[in-house]
Amino acid sequence: MNPEEQRRLERQVENLEAELNQQKPLQSHFETSQSIQSLYSQFIIWYRGLAPVGQVAVIVGGALIGLSLVSTVVKLISLAFNLAVLGAIVYVAYKFFLAPQARNSNDS
């Protein structure tokens, strides 16, 4: 490595260090929970401002969305389980049917 490349690399390292030192610290958990609490409060205020029919509609819509999400998660878990069982069956079939043939052809 020539001296010019080394100086360029040192400058880049210094620039990166300066950039890291200038960045803000990550948000604390406290600030995040306050933000979530604020959103929840805004939702409650909005919900209470709805007519009773609107409140029922929001509850029914939320329940449908929640059940849909639960159904999706259950289907994904079921898919993962089915793939694991299929993989085990394919592995056992390989060991019993193809692996002995490979050993026999190497012995001959």
Lowest mean pLDDT among 37-46, 81-90, 91-100: 91-100
Lowest mean pLDDT among 15-29, 60-74, 85-99: 15-29
pTM of the model: 0.53
Neighbours of 55 (CB within 10 A): 13
Question: 50 with 58: CB under 8 angstroms?
Answer: yes
Average pLDDT taken over every residue of the chain: 86
pLDDT at 102 over 70: no
